[in-house]
Structure formats: C-alpha cells, structure tokens
C-alpha cells in the first residue's frame, strides 16, 4: 500500500523567506567567506586537501591541474570546475598572495591580467610551506572530519594551519549582503605579532602594531595613510591608500623619464592597461603637455612602466597629476570579515590573532593527546615484552603446550592453565601467576625469535627509556599552558626562519598630491558637427581657410573660445553641457567623435533642437516653442549652470520642444500646424518667463491638431516653407500679423 500523501499548507512569503535565508547562510558560511582559523574558503581548503590526499607533495613530480580539479570536484566541491581551477590558480600567483600555497608549472597568468592556460595544459603541486604548516598532523586527530556532499568521503572541517593565513595571504569574497576584503601582511611580522599575543594576551591594537606595521602587498607600493591604520585595525573596517613607487631617471638630451617600478595592489590585472589609457587621456584632454611617450617595459623581472617627459618638464607636478588623475594612487577597502564560531564576524587585528592562537592551543592539545595515547600504548607493550624476556622459557613452554592461540592468550592474560600441558608442575604454578594485558599478550604472541638477541633486548630497553621521556614531555605540555606555548612558539620560530622575507610595502604618512593646474591659453576655435552627430574642434584660422566646405558639410558651426561650453537643447526639454576641451581638437578633415559619447545626450530617445556656445547663450533672449503651441521667452542668463544635464524648460505630458532660437522684440513668430493652419504673431505678444515655466498658448489648435513647425522671422526675413507633400509654398512674411491665442488661417 502506498504511503498516504501529506500536504503541508504554509504562507508563501514564509517559504521564500526561509529559503532565502538558508541560501544566504550557505553562501556566507560555505562558499564566499574564509574561516578565521585557517583563513581559507571551502574551495581552497578542499583543493589543498585533495592535493594532499593525492600525494602531490613539494618533493614529488607535478600533476596535471585537470586531475586535481576533477578529483576535488568529484569528492569534495560539486560547484563546477572553473571555481576550483580559479582558486588553484590564485593560490599559485605570487603577485596576489603574500605566501603562495601551490607551486604552479606552466602558464598561471600574469600580473597584467593575462589568464592562466586551460587546466589540461598546466601542472601543480603543493608548496613546501603548505605541506609543513597547513597540512601537517592531519593523521593525529587534530581537526574534525565531516562527511562530504554525498557522504562517501570524509573531509576536514578546517585545515590545521599553524600560521595566521588569514592575515598573511588576506582574503576577498562577496557573499549575500556582505563582503570581505582583508589585505595581505608580512609573514615574519605576523609571526612576531602572534608570539607577542601569546606572551601578553591583554595586548592592545596599538601595541600589536609595533610588530605588525600594516599591510604588506606582494606588489609593493607605498601605504600613504599610516596614521589611519590604528583605527582600521581596531575596527576591522577602513580604507588604506596605496601608491605606486616612482623613480626618476635621466635620459639623453637633458630629458627625464618617470619609471614606475611598483604598482598599487588594486591595479593588478586589467588595471595596468587602464592606467596606460588614463595617461593617454591626460595628454588628449590637454591636462598636461609634458608627457611625450609612455611604454610598458614590464617583464618577469618586475614592473617597469616608463613615461618620457618633455625637456624642462616639472617631473614632481607630473607625478602628482598621475597620483590624482589615475589609479597610480588608489584605495584598498578593508573589511576584515570572517567566519568565527560558525557565523560571520567583523574583527580587528587583535581579535583575529586571538582566534588564531586559541585554534593553535586546540590543535596542540589534540595533537599531544593523540601522541600521548600512542606512547602509553607503546609503553604498555614495551613493558610486556621486557617482562616476557625475563620469563621467555616459561612462555615457550606455554606455547608448546597450547592447542590454539586462544588458550595461550588466556593463560598469558588470566593465568588459566586448564587447557595447557606443562612438562613441570613448577611451570604450571608460575604460569598461573601471569597477568599480561590483552595488548601485551598479543605483542608477545606476535614477537619474532630474533627479538631475543641481546642487542635487540638492549634496543628495547633504550626505546622504553625514550618512550618514558616522551610521555613525561607530552604530559607536561598538556598540563602546563606555558609549556604548550613554548612548543607553539618554537614551531613559529622555525617557520619564520625558513619562510620569512623582507617587507615589500613601505608604510608612511604622505601628503596628498597637489596638482598645479597648467595655464590654458585661450584661443578662438570653431566647433563643427555634421548631420550624423560627429563633432570636432578646429582653430579659427583653419575654419576660415575651409569656410565654404565647413558651412556646407556641417549641420552646426559654432564660433567660440576653447574654454567655452556648448549648450545642447533637445526635444525632451533637456539642456546638456559639453566642454569644448572635451571635443577632439584636430584637422579639418578629421572625422570627429559622436557627441553622445562625450555628453549625457542620448541619441536613441532625443534629438537636437538647438546648439550654441554658452558665452553666446547667456547674452541673449531665447524663444521656446512646443508641439502643443506653448510659447515663452527666456533670458539666456538662466542657463548659466554647472550641471552636465539640466531641465531647460517644463513640458506638459506628451509635449515636445520644437524650437529654441534667439529673438529680437521687433521680429515675428509663425506657427504651422499638421493640418496646414498658419498663425503669425509678434514676438512682443509672447511674455518672458522663467525657464521652468510652461509658457502661454501661441495658437488655438483644433481637436487632434498639433504644431508641425515654428519659425522666427527677423525684420525683412523671407521664408517659403513646403507643406502637404506637394510643391506648395507659403510666403511667411506676407501672412497677416494676428493676436496670440487665435485660430490662424488654413492654407
């Protein structure tokens, strides 16, 4: 009989909330954030453990990365091969990790952002430090093992890492609603900090920073806000300002060049290419005329970006410009978030070290308990063998008189002689006195005869002496926290001696870069924009030489100064501002740049109504006219604003701006509707309003009609527009001037 189906009714929002919380916690705890104890994310931990299980040690041959990735994915991390390989690659990159944990063989990417080769081409093995300080003693029950995803394997809940990896290598990860960003630190300094904490658990952050000076990035550089580090390390949150390292070199002809030998940690990868482009942009935008050339001469030997300067250039000012306008000075956001006791927690420097030290005591306790248990077992067996050697003749007689091992073992452990034949009665009495333990009896029964040689017996006695010394040592370590601390510190000293390296990042207080703005020479220029929206700037002399062609080929020709701005009025009622300096300055036949690439103007949903230089706009009055026949005059001074985009007028719903043009009070305005109705009024009849007013009605339109065009006629102007799709025209200047807000005349 089939089981009865059960329906559980519940609120949908509750199901969604619970499911989302479960998902979020899974991402936070089991994927994106490192554990404070070993400083590793699950994917990193599983990859290293799998390499350990596969026997890919530092002194063994390299193995294909694809083998490591496949084995890790099949046994421990079922989240796709790319995440595992990416973790493997990053752990091998010395420009990302202060202490690489994997020894990569092949193309594992570069500091300039080149990706690693496919996993089928690369090989890897564990680094020596990983094997010694991250994976040692896994066989001594120092950490708990938990079932893997399908409960067919066991994996360590955390690796027995002996050094504070979370500080040495740092960490980056984005979870749900939170992210971690911990900078790397110097190996030796962190070890010294741990030792200082173990000697003085009440140490504060300021005292700890006597040992751990600040971040030590693999790329070097200069931390420029030393005074802010105390606050960052106290709270675990803040911003570290990092600069690249610059050297000045002399060139032939009295020139100088700026050589960048170290970059900020945040510039790793695509940031180098972006930096080069940013320097090009400084030259293109005329922010400096002193940079002649830039070349990236970086190699395996290190970073070397050379910026060649013009003779007599102010190198210090150029350096400050690079700090100010490019990523040569950048900010590393610190958020020291890690999983502690199963939940995410933001910690300062001292709490992180406290968690690490507590973990070290736990590891040492479990290790020496396991070692002590083994030594006690050895002691028991050794003492049994030593006792057996003294009565070896009796034991041989017992074995010869036994029918099976069970009877012999019973005699050795309990003195039961009922099933054993003895040659002498005295032997039987002596055998009844035997009280070996189970383990001792098993060892005696398995003992080989050569163990009875005199030298072997001496070796057994020496081995027993050593076992007793070990037991005494392990008991002392387990009963005395000071003795355990001494052992941990001795281990740390050994790691520091072998794996320490000089600090790469300089910690200092550096004044903020100040750039002396170059004096821009003001010249007359002409802005040209063709009907496709491509704009460029030429000097006035070039325009005059090509005036006829320029006027014929371009939709807008605007004479202004190079320091001016261009006002772009669009049909949506917006005004976009564009600096003339942002437009490409060049030759008359240059193509130019699309104007919507340089401003907020969006050609997909708006089009030009009028373009003019700001200096011209603010000196005149402008008429605004819309599709629904709303008119107004606006003083151009109202458009002298600093925003890149601002509302130039207020429009009713579904209305559209048709015209913006400068007017004189003695001119006239002609409105043409879609139904071929015309109305001519004087400019004087249109009131002057603020730019955010809707305006007044110009023509009274019939139902379903709207304006097709609005014309401004200065005195003496003559216009004959085409309309209706036929060869018809209307002489606008001959239309009778009527009152505003009337119906007009149909043509």
- Which residues are the active-site residues? 121
Distance separating alpha carbons of residues 72 and 52, to the nearest angstrom: 11
Percentages helix, strand, coil for the chain (3-state, rounded to 5) are 40, 20, 40
Q: What is the 3-state secondary structure (H, E, C) of 300-337?
A: CCECCEEEEECCCCCHHHHHHHHHHHCCCEEEEEEECE
Task: Answer for the pair 664, 620: CB distance below 8 angstroms, yes or no.
Answer: no
Residue 249 Cα distances to 289, 322, 366, 510, angstroms: 19, 17, 58, 22
How far is residue 65's CA from residue 122's CA, in Å, rounded to a whole number? Answer: 6
Q: What is the CB-side half-sphere exposure of residue 472 using CA atoms within 13 A?
A: 6
Residue given tokens 């003992």 in the structure block = 447
Strand partners, 534: 594
Q: Give long-range contacts, CB 8 A cutoff, 24+ apart: 259-262.
A: 259/304, 259/305, 259/306, 259/307, 260/303, 260/304, 260/305, 260/306, 260/307, 260/328, 261/220, 261/302, 261/303, 261/304, 262/219, 262/220, 262/221, 262/303, 262/504
SS3 state at 648: coil
Residues 95 and 182: their CA atoms lie apart, in Å, by: 15
- Strand 154-156 relative to strand 707-713, pairing: unpaired
* Angle, alpha carbons 733-739-743 (nearest 5°): 90
Please name the residue that has the structure tokens 């050379």.
Answer: 306
Q: Are 71 and 64 in contact (CB under 8 A)?
A: no
Q: For strand 123-126 and strand 63-64, is the pairing parallel, antiparallel, or unpaired? A: antiparallel
Nearest to 612 by CA among 586, 584, 576: 576
Residue 534: partners with Cβ closer than 8 Å, 6 or more residues away: 591, 592, 593, 594, 595
Residue whose C-alpha is closest to residue 679's, from 714, 707, 719 = 707
The CA angle 266-241-225, to the nearest 5 degrees, is 155
């Amino acid at each position: 009989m089939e089981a009865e189906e059960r329906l559980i009714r519940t609120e949908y929002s509750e199901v969604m909330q619970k499911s989302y919380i479960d998902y979020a916690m899974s991402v936070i705890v089991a994927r994106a954030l490192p554990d404070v104890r070993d400083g590793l994310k699950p994917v990193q931990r599983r990859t290293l453990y799998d390499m350990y299980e596969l026997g890919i040690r530092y002194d063994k041959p390299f193995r294909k990365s694809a083998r490591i990735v496949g084995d890790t994915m099949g046994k421990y991390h079922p989240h796709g091969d790319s995440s595992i390989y990416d973790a493997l690659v990053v752990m091998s990159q010395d420009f990302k990790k202060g202490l690489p944990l994997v020894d990569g063989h092949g193309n594992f990417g570069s500091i300039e952002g080149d990706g690693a080769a496919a996993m089928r081409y690369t090989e890897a093995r564990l680094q020596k430090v990983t094997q010694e300080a991250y994976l040692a003693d896994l066989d001594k029950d120092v950490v708990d093992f938990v079932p893997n995803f399908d409960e067919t394997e066991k994996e360590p809940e955390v690796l027995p890492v002996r050094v504070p990896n979370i500080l040495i290598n740092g960490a980056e990860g984005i979870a749900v609603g939170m992210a971690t960003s911990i900078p790397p630190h110097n190996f030796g300094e962190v070890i010294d900090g741990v030792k200082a904490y173990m000697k003085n658990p009440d140490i504060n952050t300021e005292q700890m920073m006597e040992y751990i000076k600040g971040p030590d990035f693999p790329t070097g550089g200069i931390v420029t806000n030393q005074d802010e580090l105390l606050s960052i390390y106290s709270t675990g949150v803040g911003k570290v300002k990092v600069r690249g390292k610059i050297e000045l070199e002399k060139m032939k002809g009295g020139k100088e060049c700026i050589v960048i030998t170290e970059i900020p940690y945040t510039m790793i990868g695509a940031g180098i290419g972006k930096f080069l482009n940013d320097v090009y942009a400084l030259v293109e935008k005329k922010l400096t005329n002193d940079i002649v050339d830039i070349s990236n001469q970086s190699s395996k030997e290190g970073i070397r970006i050379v910026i060649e300067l013009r003779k007599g250039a102010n190198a210090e000012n150029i350096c400050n410009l690079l700090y100010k306008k490019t990523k040569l000075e950048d900010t590393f956001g610190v958020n020291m978030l890690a999983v502690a006791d199963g939940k995410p927690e933001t910690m300062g420097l001292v709490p992180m070290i406290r968690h690490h030290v507590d973990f070290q005591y736990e590891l040492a306790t479990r290790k020496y308990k396991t070692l002590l248990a083994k030594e006690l077992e050895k002691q028991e067996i050794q003492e049994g063998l030593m006792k057996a050697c003294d009565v070896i003749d009796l034991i041989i007689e017992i074995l010869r008189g036994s029918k099976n091992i069970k009877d012999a073992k019973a005699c050795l452990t309990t003195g039961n002689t009922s099933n054993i034949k003895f040659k002498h009665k005295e032997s039987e009495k002596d055998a009844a006195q035997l009280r070996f333990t189970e383990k001792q009896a098993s060892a005696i029964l398995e003992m080989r005869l050569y163990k009875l040689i005199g030298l072997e017996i001496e070796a057994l006695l020496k081995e027993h002496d050593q076992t007793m010394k070990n037991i005494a040592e392990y008991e002392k370590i387990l009963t005395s926290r000071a003795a355990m601390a001494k052992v941990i510190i001795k281990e740390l000293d050994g790691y520091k001696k072998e794996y320490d390296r000089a600090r790469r990042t300089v910690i200092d207080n550096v004044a903020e870069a100040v750039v002396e703005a170059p004096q821009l020479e003001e010249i007359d220029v002409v802005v040209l924009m063709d009907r496709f929206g491509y704009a460029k700037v030429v000097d006035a002399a070039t325009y005059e030489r090509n005036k006829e062609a320029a006027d014929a080929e371009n939709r807008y020709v605007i004479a202004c100064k190079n320091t001016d701005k261009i006002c772009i009025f669009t049909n949506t009622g917006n005004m976009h501002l564009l600096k003339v300096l942002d437009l490409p300055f060049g030759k008359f036949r240059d193509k130019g740049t699309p104007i919507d690439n340089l401003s907020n103007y969006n050609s997909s949903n708006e089009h030009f109504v009028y373009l003019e230089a700001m200096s011209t706009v603010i000196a005149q009055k402008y008429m605004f006219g819309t599709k629904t026949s709303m008119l107004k005059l606006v003083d151009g001074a109202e458009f002298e604003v600093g925003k890149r985009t601002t509302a130039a007028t207020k429009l009713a719903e579904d209305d559209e701006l048709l015209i913006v043009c400068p007017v004189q009070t003695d001119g006239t305005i002609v409105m043409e509707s879609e139904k071929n109705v015309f109305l001519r009024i004087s400019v004087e009849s249109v009131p002057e309003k603020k730019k955010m007013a809707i305006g007044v009605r110009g023509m009274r339109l019939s139902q379903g009609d709207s304006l097709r065009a609005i014309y401004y006629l200065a005195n003496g102007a003559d216009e004959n527009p085409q309309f209706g799709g036929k060869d018809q025209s209307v002489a606008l200047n001959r239309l009778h001037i009527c009152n505003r807000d009337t119906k007009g005349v149909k043509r």
